Amino acid sequence: MNALLKNREIWLVGAIAVLIAVIATRFPGFAAPRNLSTVFNDTSILMILALGQMVVILTRSIDLSMASNLAFTGMVVAMINAAYPGFPIPLLILVAIGVGLILGAINGFLVWRIGIPPIVVTLGTLTIYRGATFVISGGAWVNADKMSPDFIGLQRMQLLGLPVLSWFAIATIVLFFVMMTRTALGRSLYAIGVNPTASVYAGIDVGRTKFFAFCISGAIAGLAGYLWISRYVIASVEVANGYELNIIAACVIGGISIAGGIGSVGGAVLGALFLGIISSALPVVNISPFWQMAISGTAILLAVVLNARGERKQGRIILKKAEAAAA
């Protein structure tokens, strides 16, 4: 029971349930399964991105360039689609993942091989990738009328009662869950965050593992690039501007420690869902969407305060009576 209460995911599920319940008392329609599945679908891209960011944060790094990577990759696939409407969409998705991965690998290379702190590297590539988006597009937009029906339609197709976009999110969640809990790479990502020195002694190449983390976040940003563009049917330089902070916010709310080593797939997903529910609830409860930003800010601050409480290290207990009392 005690262990259950210490579990962040349980707390988050509780918080989300309370949030939905409170909204449902005034607007019962909000809690209807149909609406909740819409909220899930609306939050899919953020969930996917948060998982990519989580992997990087676990390794004591940060990727500020994800939103710029998304904009660049989105522009690339939109331009390919506009120029060659017959280009198969599955292949185009692979292109998106590949381009994103290359951009992520550049970040990872600079961190791993040159030894520049991740925050500096991704601060730089944040502006570079967005600038590059302008360069390849010449500042022009790619609109819905230039995109092929397949390009736009794929994620809207229904499969077993859910849009394909939701299935993208579900597949990513499952994939990440398996990766983080059952593969050597996943466990290495945790290990180098918990204790880099001990990781070296355990035969883990810390630098290379960080490189992989950035490759993963890059590939995820690439995938999200396609999903974003096909969802909002416009590719421009301004796409997802500033969105990197929402991604980090989802991670922080999800209990992923910025100090590395602590966090879970469930946490990242729930953190994103929490933000997603708030943004879908605002119009329902008739609060101006301009409140969204302040609310997520408050949520981040509350989450970080609560996480710090949970993480606070308990000192060695020397006195026997205190030990008995604590047990």
Residues between 287 and 306 with contacts to other proteins, criterion CB under 8 A: 288, 290-298, 300-301, 304-305
Q: Which of 24, 116, 170, 234 is close enough to bind other proteins by CB under 8 A?
A: 116
Q: Which of 98, 124, 207, 310 is close enough to bind other proteins by CB under 8 A?
A: 124
Cβ-based nearer residue to other proteins, 163 or 196: 196
Q: Which of 60, 130, 210, 231 is close enough to bind other proteins by CB under 8 A?
A: 130
Cβ-based nearer residue to other proteins, 89 or 250: 250
222-251 binders of other proteins (CB under 8 A): 237, 242, 245, 248-249
Q: Which of 4, 5, 160, 326 is close enough to bind other proteins by CB under 8 A?
A: 326
Cα torsion 265, 270, 275, 280: sign:
positive
Tokens of 37: 């599945």
User: Residues for the chain: how many in total?
Assistant: 327
- Determine the interface stretch with other proteins among 11-19, 83-91, 254-262, 277-285 (rule: CB under 8 A): 254-262
Instruction: Find all residues with CB under 8 Å of 187, minimum gap 6, and list them.
Output: 180
Cβ-based nearer residue to other proteins, 11 or 151: 11
Least distance to other proteins, CB of residue 184, Å: 7
41-100 binders of other proteins (CB under 8 A): 62, 64
Cβ-based nearer residue to other proteins, 81 or 188: 188
256-285 binders of other proteins (CB under 8 A): 258-259, 261-262
Q: Three-class SS of residue 141?
A: coil
Provide the residue type at 230 as one letter.
Answer: S
- Determine the interface stretch with other proteins among 23-31, 35-43, 95-103, 181-189 (rule: CB under 8 A): 181-189
CA angle, 35 then 41 then 247, to 5°: 125
Q: Does 134 bind other proteins (CB under 8 A)?
A: yes
E strands, 183-236, are none
> DSSP letters along 51-72, please?
HHHHHHHHTT---TTHHHHHHH
Q: Does 324 bind other proteins (CB under 8 A)?
A: no
CA distances from 159 to 45, 163, 165, 167, 173 (A): 18, 6, 10, 8, 17
Cβ-based nearer residue to other proteins, 30 or 129: 129
Q: Dihedrals φ, ψ of 162, to 5°?
A: -125, 145
Q: Which of 175, 202, 283, 285 is close enough to bind other proteins by CB under 8 A?
A: 202
Least distance to other proteins, CB of residue 318, Å: 4
Q: Which of 33, 86, 90, 139 is close enough to bind other proteins by CB under 8 A?
A: 139
Tokens of 110: 């600079």
Give me the half-sphere count of Cα atoms (radius 13 Å) on the Cβ side of residue 205.
8
Q: Which of 132, 154, 173, 278 is close enough to bind other proteins by CB under 8 A?
A: 132
Q: Give the residue from 53, 45, 46, 44 showing the smallest Cα distance to 217.
A: 53
Distance, in Å, from the CA atom of 111 to the CA atom of 108, rounded to the nearest integer, reads 5
Q: Give the residue from 200, 155, 174 showing the smallest Cα distance to 45.
A: 155
Q: Which of 119, 140, 144, 157 is close enough to bind other proteins by CB under 8 A?
A: 119
